[in-house]
Amino acid sequence: MKKSIKGVLVLFVFISGLFISADTVFADDGSALERIQDEGVLVVGTSADFPPFEFYAVVDGERQVVGMDIMIAQKIADDLGVELQIQDIGFDSLLPALEARNVDVVIAGMTPTAERRRSVDFSDIYFQTFQNIMVRSADQDVYDSIESLSGQRIGVQSSSLQEGLAEQIPDADIMSLTDLSDLLLALKTNRIEAIVMQGPNAEAHAGHDEDLYTFIADFDMDDDDAGSAIAFRQGETSLVEAINESLAEIEEQNLTEEYLATAGEYMAQESAEEGFIASYWEYFRDGTLITLLISAAGVVFGLILGSLLALMRLSKNIILRLLGTTYVEFVRGTPLLIQVMFIYFASGMFFNLPALTAGIIAVSLNSGAYVAEIIRSGINSVNKGQNEAARSLGMSKKQAMRHIVFPQALKNIWPALGNEFITIIKESSIVSVIGVGELIFQTRVVRSISFQGILPLFVTMLIYFTLTYSLTKLLNYYEGSMNHD
């Protein structure tokens, strides 16, 4: 027992050492700038649901992330002599992605608060902004100041500056959500009374939706809280200095006004499109294809892994049985969301694993644990006499399992296995948190650029129902064929 405990402690120290050494390697000042220039790519993390700073639009027939922040990022990349690569991630996952080295910098209208400065470094302020409160147009005479919202339920984006500012509203009941589109929907459906937002973003939404009204809020803020800056990993001084030079040129030439005007043109272009389906069907199509890809990979690899784990759990070898049991119980005992985020962010400490690949790996590993239990229970449900009869006829253990036991087990577990396949389709939506462009991710994009909350959700519901219902009918057909045989 003592040896086992000692072994676990040694393993823990070894794994911790890997993370510490990885952090030490990348902490060398100047290495980040040199690496970016050597690789020829600047990877920028953003959250593209924040017009006019970052949002999706069709440019030259292709969907791209555009906005003032993206134009600033392009200017920086040009000055560094590298290409620009944008990674769209949920706002509350941006700093974890930065620290895990999945992105080089974060440009997302982020405010350099004192709390954030404890974990990351910031550039100079590149845009001075103001804070607004968004309410329903019908309530504009009721709510016209911070004091008038006393005791009301206030919506804010999680991990944002506004989350702290909302606490200045007397007796406010604060509700934090990841996506601004969810907050806007909550406001329209009377779930909340107001939203604290950055001024330009609030004005952009109010300008495209007559049901919304916004006004400037007189919050008590530090000077740093009134501006946006670029986030870096701590210690990357050379990269910060290089980017500050670009920001100084942008300020000197007053390019932010030009960038905002261009962003406004993109927003007007999106609003001018006629017909919801005609305008946004490509988003739903691409999201559906990615969802099917993740689901198919999860089914295939999950089935392979699950079969292997089931055999390990049924093995007479105590080590194999212990390993199989430990894996299954651990994976089933932790949320898929945590598994997805851990695989994506932890892998960034050592190598750049694409978000889609990380999502497929996480879904497959998770599915394998559940499939293993289904297969194991199916094999155990077959009468032991079947196996003994096969062995008495001269079959080897492997032949008996292949020709006698497993076919009967498959018939028994087919409904449960089919339900697991259907579950994978729905649970694949979780990978949207790391920026994978599956159906839920694309729905969020459509909601942010169409300024509609409910219709995109309804379309997505229909797509998921079509996928799961079609798969159910297909599985029922094969189940009937097996019963007939």
Please check whether residues 356 and 425 belong to one and the same domain: yes
User: What proportion of the chain, given as a percentage, has pLDDT over 90?
Assistant: 56
In a domain, 14, yes or no: no
Please check whether residues 336 and 403 belong to one and the same domain: yes
In a domain, 135, yes or no: yes
Please check whether residues 216 and 231 belong to one and the same domain: no
CA distances from 378 to 39, 184, 373 (A): 51, 48, 8
Please check whether residues 93 and 163 belong to one and the same domain: no
Q: Is the pLDDT of residue 21 over 70?
A: no
CATH number of the domain at 342, please.
1.10.3720.10
* Residue 452 pLDDT class (50, 70, 90 cuts): confident
Q: Which amino acid is at 19?
A: F
Q: Is the pLDDT of residue 392 over 80?
A: no
Please check whether residues 242 and 300 belong to one and the same domain: no
Radius of gyration of the chain (CA): 27
Q: pLDDT tens-digit profile of 2-11?
A: 344 344 334 4
- Which of 190, 224, 258 represents a domain boundary (last residue)? 224
- Which of 210, 238, 272 represents a domain boundary (last residue)? 272
Q: pLDDT tens-digit profile of 110-140?
A: 989 888 999 999 999 999 888 999 999 999 9
Number of folded domains in the chain? 3
Which residue, among 170, 179, 187, 180, has the nearest Cα to 135 in the 3D structure?
A: 187
In a domain, 46, yes or no: yes
Cα(248)–Cα(243) distance, integer angstroms: 9
pTM (two decimals) = 0.78
Please check whether residues 431 and 373 belong to one and the same domain: yes
In a domain, 17, yes or no: no
* Residue 205 pLDDT class (50, 70, 90 cuts): confident
Cα(444)–Cα(214) distance, integer angstroms: 22
- Which of 161, 196, 224 represents a domain boundary (last residue)? 224
CATH number of the domain at 210, please.
3.40.190.10
Pull the structure tokens for residue 12. 């823990």
* Residue 208 pLDDT class (50, 70, 90 cuts): confident
Please check whether residues 364 and 397 belong to one and the same domain: yes
In a domain, 286, yes or no: yes
Please check whether residues 401 and 258 belong to one and the same domain: no
Please check whether residues 235 and 299 belong to one and the same domain: no
Q: What number of CA atoms fall less than 13 Å from residue 223's CA on the CB side? A: 3
Please check whether residues 262 and 408 belong to one and the same domain: no
Please check whether residues 98 and 117 belong to one and the same domain: yes
Query: To 5 degrees, how large is the angle CA 438–CA 440–CA 444?
Result: 115
In a domain, 15, yes or no: no
In a domain, 13, yes or no: no
Give the structural domain span for 386. 277-484
User: What proportion of the chain, given as a percentage, has pLDDT over 70?
Assistant: 90
Q: Are 163 and 229 in contact (CB under 8 A)?
A: no
Please check whether residues 415 and 364 belong to one and the same domain: yes
In a domain, 430, yes or no: yes
